């Protein structure tokens, strides 16, 4: 018996992005290992919790192409209208999907619902070695590939390529010697679901306050997903409140647009930072999702961007395998040429979305004299510009560069 379990590709991190990559690669016939420290059905699974994620239409198309959207659609709430405002000021902008001849700008769904659908689809993946729960404890690179050690103590894996999908504090990224710049926004997002006297009707609200963005998102059951961004000190105070006191503070902060707030579920807090890897590839290593870039949740672009990382990588690998089969040659899935192609294809979209979200956070947090007035004028001009609104409605397909085939509904 070999010292190692030989695979073509090892994905470290079985959250939403890593699981999506494994599913996208299913038709390739590659030997794939998926390593995740928490069992997918565990209540403590951080990637599959009750946080809500806004899925763009490009992401919906990817999930349709992968055959999992039908399992998610019943728990996905369409966003048909968006109301953006600068809290306490005159600036606002409104978007309506009917004006763009689309059914919705996107969909709001819990991570738990997405995780359940993805893992059900992966259950029949015969060439997938699932090490879940298992913790990756060591990553070593040599001339022949990558060796990965996991606990509990199974035989080590040897892969031709390792994919880091293990989050903003990526072990794989560090092992590959890839540096990451971390900028702390000094903000904490408090996430919760609330019920109100006025059920959700497909309208999403994004309100910018001096402490950070405030999002109120429609859920499929008529409730709302709340993402309340606060300074760390105030966030700690809000978390300590009783449910009744929390609802009272939330009512004052947001107002009465969705009626009287009635009940709230469990509250969770997430510190907000921008983590950006200096490069997304190294020798026999590629970064996707939060391992490559972890964004502020403003505008809801982080998961959509990470999913485009995953399906672009799958597209490049499967195209190379198809070419090699035609030419009767063997593909090295970890070759420098393939990784350079991935970095090239993802560059414009990645940099554009990172810059867009970072500038948005800083612009609406800027309280210098004159800046709030300029913001209000900008929002009102945006509200009057069909061209600007059309460009914003297309953002969910990618900022720039080539749209992955799965996002266009084209099979790999």
How is residue 218 written in tokens? 């429609």
Q: Which architecture characterizes domain 5-75+110-182+274-366 according to CATH?
A: 3-Layer(bba) Sandwich (3.50)
**Mean pLDDT over each residue of the chain, to the nearest integer:** 89
Q: Specify the pLDDT at position 47.
A: 57
| For range 285-291, the mean pLDDT | 97
Q: Which residue has the higher pLDDT, 143 or 106?
A: 106
- Mean pLDDT comparison of 142-156, 159-173, 312-326, highest-scoring range: 159-173
Domain ranges across the chain: 5-75+110-182+274-366
Residue from 273, 275, 270 nearest 173 by CA: 275
Instruction: Kindly report which listed range (23-37, 79-93, 312-326) carries the lowest average pLDDT score.
Output: 79-93
Give 203-260 pLDDT, tens digit per residue: 999 988 888 888 999 999 999 999 999 999 999 999 999 999 999 999 999 989 999 9
Confidence of residue 46 (pLDDT cuts 50, 70, 90): low
What pTM, to 2 d.p., does this model score? Answer: 0.92
Alpha-carbon distance values, 295 to 115, 183, 195, 355 (Å): 20, 10, 28, 10
d(CA 146, CA 264): 47
Instruction: Kindly report which listed range (102-111, 315-324, 380-389) carries the lowest average pLDDT score.
Output: 380-389
Q: How far is Cα of residue 290 from the mean position of the Cα atoms in its chain?
A: 8
**Which residues on neighbouring strands pair with residue 227, listed in sequence order?**
191, 215
| For range 285-307, the mean pLDDT | 94
d(CA 265, CA 277): 35
């Amino acid at each position: 018996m070999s010292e190692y379990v030989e695979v073509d590709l090892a994905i470290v991190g079985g959250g939403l992005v890593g699981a999506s990559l494994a599913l996208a690669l299913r038709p390739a016939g590659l030997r794939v290992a998926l390593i995740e420290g928490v069992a997918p059905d565990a209540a403590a699974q951080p990637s599959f919790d009750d946080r809500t994620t806004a899925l763009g239409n490009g992401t919906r198309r990817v999930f349709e192409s992968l055959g999992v959207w039908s399992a998610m659609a019943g728990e996905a709430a369409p966003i048909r209208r968006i109301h953006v405002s600068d809290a306490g000021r005159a600036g606002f902008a409104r978007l309506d999907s009917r004006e763009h001849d689309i059914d919705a700008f996107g969909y709001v769904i819990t991570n738990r619902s997405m995780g359940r659908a993805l893992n059900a689809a992966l259950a029949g993946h015969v060439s997938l070695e699932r090490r879940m729960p298992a913790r990756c404890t060591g990553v070593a690179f040599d001339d022949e590939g990558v060796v990965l050690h996991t606990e509990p103590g199974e035989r080590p894996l040897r892969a031709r390529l390792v994919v880091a999908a293990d989050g903003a504090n990526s072990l794989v990224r560090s092992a590959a010697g890839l540096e990451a710049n971390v900028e702390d926004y000094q903000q904490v997002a408090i996430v919760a679901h609330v019920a109100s006297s006025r059920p959700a009707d497909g309208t999403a609200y994004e309100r910018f306050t001096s402490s950070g963005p405030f999002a109120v998102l429609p859920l499929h059951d008529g409730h709302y997903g709340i993402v309340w961004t606060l300074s760390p000190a105030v966030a700690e105070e809000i978390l300590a409140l009783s449910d009744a006191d929390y609802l009272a503070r939330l009512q004052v902060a947001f107002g009465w647009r969705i009626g009287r707030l009635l009940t709230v579920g469990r509250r969770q807090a997430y510190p907000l930072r921008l983590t950006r890897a200096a490069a997304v590839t190294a020798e026999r290593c590629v970064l996707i999702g939060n391992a490559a870039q972890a964004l502020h949740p403003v505008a809801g672009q982080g998961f959509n961007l990470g999913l485009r990382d995953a399906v672009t990588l799958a597209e490049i690998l499967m195209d190379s395998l198809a070419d090699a089969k035609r030419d009767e040659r063997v593909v090295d899935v970890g070759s420098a040429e393939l990784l350079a192609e991935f970095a090239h294809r993802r560059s414009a979209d990645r940099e554009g979305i990172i810059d867009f979200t970072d500038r948005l956070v800083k612009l609406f947090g800027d309280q210098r004299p004159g800046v709030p007035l300029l913001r209000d004028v900008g929002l009102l001009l945006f509200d009057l510009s069909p061209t600007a609104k059309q460009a914003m409605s297309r953002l969910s397909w990618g900022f720039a560069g080539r749209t992955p085939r799965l996002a266009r509904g084209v099979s790999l």
